[in-house]
């Protein structure tokens, strides 16, 4: 029996090593991923990170873990340029579009959900919002102040990085040294409120023109951007939990600050395994909203963008992403997508062919070890490109059985079909393209082929020829061989 029990190893960004995954509570996994700031359409780079973690979620579930997957919606507190001063990204968009901030939030949250479901992403177990957890954030600030690691200044509250660093290591995740950080900081507006330029805001006193603000013990203001993830992960997953994910660009300062906030408020390191997904690039540069170097999912599906030759199905795009390891950068290009489209069809054809195979007494290939290789790939830090290579090994074997140069037993055919389907659909999250449409087509084709057969039996060559010509016109080819009639639509 193929064993999924061999251990799952996860590359932990904290120490740069692949570690055997052991959850805090056997059988359960607490999993947190930083969600989007909903002030604009998600671009394909954002989608890659969320698709990577969807694959992680799917595999953990496949292994039998009961996973609580929390992914937040940032709907307040994220200031322009990820800085400590400036306008709230959502409030700014609301001002420009003359809408309520919550109208902006609603519009882009809906778009985010619709987009991810096109990519066949599963929804998280809980999707909390920053504005829905202001009280929890205020409570966390109070704890950090009580523990002596934050201070109030002019109605704002700052985290005391240098004091924290005396007993802890601020920079442990991003491997930075506090001395280098200090010498690298610039003088910024509002810095005079801080003891040190490294200190970051837990709570900000709102200027009169700031519209998204709440009462607190210190001022009418708003939480610092890093705080929401600490408050919400603690609320739903506990003071310590198993896995925290996010894009590589969030390591510093966002995740570094999350570690500091969690440790300062509870005395415990909040996260056991930190996972970081790498960037999608376009023309070799990070896809990023701020530089305008982006591609929107809808442009990709419709093909309406200069960098594209044509439109692509979201599932082909997902397959393209799965062909790269989540920790590698991935460069987007039309050529790469065209190749992915071909590869995806080949995999789907292999799966269809498997159903039609005639079985033999025994198998000419060790099917269990083939299946073991699927698990080995995924257990090695979710190595989807290796998994896909192994799935193609299986497709080659299936083709060989079909053309008579290999054999498969009934038992092996059954287990291979089950596992190849699980890995392709449940774990990689792929699905058949145009499934609904193709089943309609299948029904119609069944009828057409019956009529063609009847015409041939009755030697009604005119009708048989007319059917053939019409099918050719529709780019459907029909083949008659020993095993019967097969057809293929282009």
Shortest spacing between CB 351 and ligand AMP, in angstroms:
29
Quick check: 286 binds ligand AMP (CB under 6 A)? Answer: yes
The residue within the footprint of ligand AMP, chosen from 2, 14, 21, 46 (CB under 6 A), is: 46
Q: Are 23 and 10 in contact (CB under 8 A)?
A: no
Q: Which does 101 bind (CB under 5 to 8 A by kind): ligand AMP, Zn ion, none?
A: none
Radius of gyration of the chain, Cα coordinates, nearest whole angstrom: 27
Q: Tell me whether strands 271-277 and 280-282 are parallel, antiparallel or unpaired.
A: unpaired
**68 or 419: whose CB is closer to Zn ion?**
68
Residue 124's binding partner among ligand AMP, Zn ion, none (Cβ under 5 to 8 angstroms by kind) is none
**Residues in 218-247 at the binding interface with ligand AMP, rule: CB under 6 A:** 246-247
DSSP string, 445-465: HHHHHHHHHHHHHTT-HHHHH
Q: Are 11 and 275 in contact (CB under 8 A)?
A: yes
**Residue 111: enclosing H or E segment and its boundaries?**
helix 101-118
Q: Which stretch binds ligand AMP (CB under 6 A): 158-166, 212-220, 280-288, 360-368?
A: 280-288
Residue closer to ligand AMP (CB basis): 120 or 288: 288
Closest by CA position to 79, among listed 217, 236, 224: 224
The pair phi, psi for residue 476, each rounded to 5°, is -115, 120
Q: Is 232 in the site for Zn ion (CB under 5 A)?
A: no
Stretch that binds ligand AMP, among 57-65, 278-286, 357-365, 401-409 (CB under 6 A): 278-286
- How many residues form the binding site for Zn ion (CB under 5 A)? 2
Query: Side-chain half-sphere of 65: how many Cα atoms within 13 Å?
Result: 25
> Could you tell me the smallest distance in angstroms from the CB atom of residue 13 to ligand AMP?
13
DSSP 207: P
The residue sitting closest to ligand AMP, measured at its beta carbon, is: 247
Q: Establish if 229 lies at the interface with Zn ion (CB under 5 A).
A: yes
Minimum distance between the CB of residue 134 and Zn ion, rounded to whole angstroms?
16
Question: Binding marks (x or -) toward ligand AMP, 13..42, rule CB under 6 A?
Answer: ---------------------x-xx-----
Task: Name the token pair of 156.
Answer: 């704002």
Helix segments in 242-383, DSSP class H = 256-266, 297-302, 314-322, 334-356, 367-379
Closest CA to 39 of 125, 81, 102: 102
Q: What's the CA gap between 148 and 150, in Å, rounded?
A: 6
Question: Is residue 287 involved in binding ligand AMP (CB under 6 A)?
Answer: yes
Residue 124 is a binding residue for ligand AMP (CB under 6 A): no
Question: In the complex with ligand AMP, which residue's Cβ is closer, 286 or 390?
Answer: 286
Residues 6+ apart with CB under 8 A from 7: 20, 21, 379
- Contacting residues toward Zn ion, per CB under 5 A: 34, 229
- Contacting residues toward ligand AMP, per CB under 6 A: 34, 36-37, 45-46, 48-49, 246-247, 249-250, 279-280, 286-288
């Amino acid at each position: 029996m193929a064993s999924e029990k061999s251990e799952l190893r996860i590359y932990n960004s904290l120490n740069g090593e692949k570690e055997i995954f052991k959850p805090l509570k056997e059988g359960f996994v607490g999993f947190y991923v930083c969600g989007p700031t909903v002030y604009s359409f998600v671009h394909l780079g954002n989608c890659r990170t969320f698709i990577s973690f969807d694959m992680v979620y799917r595999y953990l579930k496949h292994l039998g873990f009961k996973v609580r997957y929390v992914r937040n919606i940032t709907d307040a507190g994220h200031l322009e340029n990820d800085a400590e001063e400036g306008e709230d990204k959502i409030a700014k968009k609301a001002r420009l579009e003359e809408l309520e901030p919550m109208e902006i939030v609603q519009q882009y949250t809906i778009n985010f959900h619709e987009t991810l479901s096109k990519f066949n992403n599963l929804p998280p177990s809980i999707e909390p919002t920053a504005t829905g957890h202001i009280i929890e954030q205020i409570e966390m600030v109070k704890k950090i102040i009580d523990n002596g690691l934050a201070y109030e200044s002019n109605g704002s509250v700052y985290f005391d990085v240098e004091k924290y660093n005396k007993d802890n290591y601020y920079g442990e995740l991003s491997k930075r040294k506090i001395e280098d950080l200090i010498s690298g900081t610039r003088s910024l507006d509002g810095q005079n409120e801080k003891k040190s330029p490294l200190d970051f805001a837990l709570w900000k006193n709102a200027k009169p023109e700031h519209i998204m603000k709440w009462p607190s013990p210190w001022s009418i203001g708003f939480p610092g951007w890093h705080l929401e993830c600490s408050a919400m992960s603690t609320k739903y997953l506990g003071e310590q939990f198993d896995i925290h994910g996010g894009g590589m660009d969030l390591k510093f300062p966002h995740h570094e600050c999350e570690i500091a906030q969690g440790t300062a408020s509870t005395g415990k390191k909040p996260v056991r395994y930190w996972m970081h997904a790498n960037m999608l690039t376009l023309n070799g540069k990070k896809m990023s909203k701020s530089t305008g170097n982006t591609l929107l999912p809808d442009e990709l599906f419709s093909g309406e963008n200069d960098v594209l030759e044509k439109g692509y199905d979201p599932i082909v795009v997902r397959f393209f992403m799965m062909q790269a390891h989540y920790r590698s950068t991935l460069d987007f290009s039309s050529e790469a997508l065209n190749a992915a489209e071909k590869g995806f069809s080949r995999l789907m054809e292999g799966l269809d062919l498997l159903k039609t195979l005639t079985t033999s007494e025994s198998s000419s290939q060790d099917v269990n070890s083939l299946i073991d290789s699927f698990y080995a790939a995924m257990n090695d830090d979710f190595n989807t490109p290796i998994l896909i290579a192994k799935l193609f090994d299986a497709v080659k074997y299936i083709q060989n059985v079909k053309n008579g140069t290999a054999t498969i037993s009934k038992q092996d055919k059954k287990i291979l079909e089950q596992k190849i389907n699980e890995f392709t659909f449940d774990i990689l999250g792929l699905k058949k393209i145009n499934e609904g449409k193709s089943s309609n087509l299948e029904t119609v084709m069944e009828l057409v082929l019956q009529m063609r057969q009847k015409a041939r039996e009755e030697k009604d060559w005119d009708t048989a020829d007319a059917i053939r010509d019409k099918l050719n016109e529709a780019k459907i080819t029909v083949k008659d061989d020993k095993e019967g009639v097969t057809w293929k639509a282009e």
